[in-house]
Amino acid sequence: MEHSHHRHVSALMIAVFTSMLGASAIAAEGPTFAYAALDTDIAEQGGETVLTWNGQGWIGGDFHKLWVKTEGERAAGDLEEAELQALYSRMIAPFWDFQAGIRYDFEPEGRAYATAGFMGLAPYWFEVDAAAFLSEDGDVSAHLDVDYELLFTQRLIGSPYAEVELFAQDVPELEVGSGLATLNSGFQLRYEITRKFAPYVDINYERAFGASADMRRAAGEDVETTTVRFGVRLVY
């Protein structure tokens, strides 16, 4: 892990720099607001306790924001995946933001990416987050995340979601091959006790495709997993 410390430090420096750029644009805009939400849950998978989190937040005005996104997974006491993004986000259309910045993966191994993408609300209320990534090793990948909300009642809300990851080349260190690599989909059912506190249950289905699936098989890992997660959404 020591070899990655240097990378961690440089990633943080880039993040700070990006933030400063964002902050200067935001400062010029006027009223500043902030928002943060974190989903964190726990599941049992193959006898192990798996903890996952997914959070995002922003600070800024109507037109310019600094976005932060993070997600990760901890299994049997070890951090398996941890990702952090710091993005400058700019409103480019009534329902869309353009976002660009850096992503840094702390696990499974320290790796920095440049990223650019779009985030917003498509017609018929589909929440979309689409981004492309260029890693420090020159690998190109993309992800597309689509969420929807179904109101069973005003507070009981079902949210089907699907996220796919695509790679332009094989990246054996990450056990992914070119093409459609993974699908992470599911259905989250949450109950908004308040807008800021909502316990949920999430049925999650994750699988790898093509070369990525082959690599997992070769490593003796599951190609697909289904988990039931219990968690809570906290909103600031």
Partner 1 sequence: MSIARRAGAVFAGLLSVLILGTSAQADEYNLIIDEVIMTVDGETRTGIGINGSIPGPTLRFREGETVTINVTNNLDEDSSLHWHGILLPNDQDGVPGLTFDGIAPGETFTYSYTLQQHGTYWYHSHSSHQEQRGVFGALIVDPAELDAVAYDREHVIILSDWLHEDPATALRNLKSRADYYNFDRRTVGDFFRDVFGARSASERQAALQDRLDWGAMRMDPTDINDVSGYTFLMNGQEPDVNWSALFEPGERVRLRFINAAAMTYFDLRIPGLTMTVVNADGNNVVPVPVDEFRIAVAETYDVIVEPEDHHAYTIFAEARSREGYARGTLTPQLGMEASIPPMSPREVLTMAAMGGAHAGMDMSSMNGDQNMPGMDHAAMGHGDMGQMAEPEAEPMADMDHAAMGHDMPATLDPHASHDMGATTSDEVMSGRITRLTYDDLEALEPYVGVPAPDRTITLRLTGVMERYIWTINDERYDPDDTEPIRMRLGERVRLEFINETMMDHPMHLHGMWMDLQNGHGETNPRKHTISIPPGQTLYADVTVDAAGEWAFHCHLMLHMASGMFQRVVVSEAVES
How near is the Cβ of 149 to partner 1 at its closest, in Å?
10
* Long-range pairs, 24-31, Cβ under 8 A, ≥24: 25/64, 25/88, 25/90, 26/59, 26/60, 26/61, 26/64, 26/65, 26/66, 28/64, 29/60, 29/61, 29/62, 29/63, 29/64, 30/61, 31/61, 31/62
Q: Does 13 bind partner 1 (CB under 8 A)?
A: no
How near is the Cβ of 121 to partner 1 at its closest, in Å?
6
The DSSP code sequence of 72-88 is EEEETTEEEEEEEEEEE
Contact pattern from residue 75 through residue 94 relative to partner 1, giving x for each residue in contact according to CB under 8 A and a dash for the rest:
----------------x--x
Q: Does 34 bind partner 1 (CB under 8 A)?
A: yes
Stretch that binds partner 1, among 109-117, 129-137, 154-162, 210-218 (CB under 8 A): 154-162
The pair of three-digit structure tokens given for residue 144, joined into one six-digit string: 């597309």
Q: Does 234 bind partner 1 (CB under 8 A)?
A: no
DSSP tag of 194? B
Q: Does 197 bind partner 1 (CB under 8 A)?
A: no
Ranges within 93-152 binding partner 1 (CB under 8 A): 94-95, 121, 123-125, 150-152
- Of positions 13, 21, 35, 217, contacts partner 1 by CB under 8 A: 35
> In this complex, which beta carbon is closest to partner 1, that of residue 53 or of residue 148?
148
Q: Does 218 bind partner 1 (CB under 8 A)?
A: no
> In this complex, which beta carbon is closest to partner 1, that of residue 152 or of residue 230?
152
Instruction: Assess whether the previous peptide bond of 172 is cis (omega < 30° from 0).
Output: no
How near is the Cβ of 74 to partner 1 at its closest, in Å?
28
Please compute, for residue 147, the number of CA atoms within 13 A of its CA located in the half-sphere on the CB side.
Answer: 12
Rounded to an integer, what distance in angstroms lies between the CA atom of residue 83 and that of residue 101? 13
Site residue total, partner 1 (CB under 8 A): 21
The DSSP code sequence of 24-46 is HHHHTTS--EEEEEEEEEEEEET
Residues in touch with partner 1 (CB under 8 A): 30, 33-35, 62, 91, 94-95, 121, 123-125, 150-155, 158, 195, 235
